[in-house]
Every structure is written in C-alpha cells, then in structure tokens.
Structure 1
Amino acid sequence: MSVDTATVRRVARLARIAVSDDDAEAMRGELNAILGFVAQLGEVDVEGVEPMTSVTPMAMKKREDRVTDGNKADDIVANAPARDEHFFVVPKVVE
C-alpha cells in the first residue's frame, strides 16, 4: 500500500493536525516507510508461536483485592489550610 499526499492530508485532518505542503510530503515518505515495515512484519511465520507478555517467564505479583482507606487520612490533610478531622474545609460557593 502506498500513501499519497491526499491521504496524508486526510489523516492529518482527522487527527486535527495542521500540515504544510512541505510537511505533507515528508510525512508521506514516513508513512510509506512505516506501512512497509508493517507489511514486512506480516510476512513473518508465527505458526505455533505462543503469545507472551514478557521475554522471560515470570509470575506477576498479586495482592489481596480489598478496599481500605489507605490509613493516610492524616497525611493527606496535613498541609491543608483548614480541616475538620479528616476532611478539607472549603468556603461555601453555592448560595
């Protein structure tokens, strides 16, 4: 697949990117190179290759999924200019 300047302008418009004439020509070459690389990857034989998430086999560390308050309420409001227990005090903005 080859990308022409009209396609570059359309992609730029969809991405909401302003592209000058000189930039469009440079982007055309870059997009064609990227698409060529993707086509080259499509030619690789991956039959029988298992998908992997890491180059080295490893087990992910897991923690118990439980809800807590983090035990950091005092730390969170420590620098607040005004507070009431573990809550920030802010001026009333609704009349």
Structure 2
Amino acid sequence: MQIDEKLLSKLEKLSALKIAEEKRIEVIQELSEIVNFVDKLNELDLSFSEITINTIKGGTPFRVDEARVSNVINQVLEHSPKYSEHFFIVPKIIE
C-alpha cells in the first residue's frame, strides 16, 4: 500500500487531525515506512512457531489466595478529624 496525498487527506479527516503543509511530505514518508515494515512482517512464515503468550515456561506462577487481616482502615481513620465506626464524619453541606 502506498501512502499518497489523497490517502493522507482521508486519514486526516478520519482522525480529526490537521497536518501542516510543511509537514505533509515528512508524514507521508514516515507512514510509508511503517506500512512497508508491516508488509515485511506479513511475509514472515510463522507456521512452524508456537504461539507465545509469555516467556516463562509453564505459565505465570500463582500465589496462594489467603485472607489477611489488615489494619489500614483503622490507621487512616485515626488520622482523620472525626470518624464513627468505619466512616468519616464531615460537615453537612446540603440543607
């Protein structure tokens, strides 16, 4: 696929961008390089390769899911001016 002025104008409209006149040639060249690179990637024969999701053999190790008691709520509430049970008490602003 070759990027030309007509295609750039269409991409400009679709992306709601405005490319300055002095940058148009540079943008066309950069987009053409990207498209050429993707075309080269499409030429690769990957039929012999396995699909790789991650590089760790055997997948991601899971940690044991165990419940823990946390005191964070109480620590946060202790630093607030006023609280009741597990809630902040704030001044009433709506009548």
TM-score computed with the length of structure 1 as normaliser? 0.69
Give the secondary-structure state (helix, strand or coil) at the position aligned to 2:54: coil
Give the secondary-structure state (helix, strand or coil) at the position aligned to 1:30: helix
Residue by residue, what CA displacement relative to the aligned partner does 1:55-84 show, whole Å, maximum 9, x if unpaired? 342431224568x79722124445545433
User: Unmatched 5+ residue regions in structure 1?
Assistant: none
**Larger of the two Rg values belongs to structure:** 2
Alignment-derived partner of residue 19 in structure 1 = 19
Say what the alpha-carbon RMSD is for the aligned residues: 2.9
TM-score computed with the length of structure 2 as normaliser? 0.69
Whose helix proportion is higher, 1 or 2? 2
Aligned-residue identity in percent: 24
Pair 1:14–1:64, CA change in 2 (3 A): farther
Distance 1:46 1:33 in 2: 22
Alignment-derived partner of residue 39 in structure 1 = 39
Residue 54, structure 1, aligned to residue 39, structure 2: no
User: Unmatched 5+ residue regions in structure 2?
Assistant: none
